[in-house]
Amino acid sequence: MREQIKLFCTYLCRQDEIYAVIAKKHSISFHTLITLYALDQDEGSTQSKISKTWLIPKQTLNTVIKDLQSKQYVKLETGRNQKEKVVYFTQIGNEFAKKNII
């Protein structure tokens, strides 16, 4: 069992290395890449859900979302209450992610 866990952790590290190379290739941060991937997997997620699911600190995710908004890649809509924000791709963001990232 210990060897299986070690192997699993090795694969996870390799996956993160691949994501880092892809992010660098597109001149974006690792967390930006993961956020774009998260939205592709589950568009219409709240910032809180993305943060918990993908282990991105809330403050970091908020910075990433603001940057993606300034590039017109995502838009925010009010969720179940005024505090909750749901993140969606814009058409530009969806095209960018499909063409370059995902």
Q: DSSP assignment of 25-78, as one string?
A: HTT--HHHHHHHHHHHHSTTEEHHHHHHHHT--HHHHHHHHHHHHHTTSEEEEE
Sheet of 45-46: strand order equals 45-46, 85-89, 74-78
Closest CA to 39 of 29, 50, 31, 28: 50
Q: What is the pTM of this model?
A: 0.82
pLDDT in tens, 18-58: 888 888 988 899 999 999 989 998 888 999 999 999 999 99
CATH number of 35's domain: 1.10.10.10
pLDDT in tens, 57-88: 999 999 999 999 999 999 999 888 888 889 99
Structural domain for 90, as ranges:
2-101
The answer on pLDDT for 89 being more than 90 is yes
Query: What's the structural domain count of the chain?
Result: 1
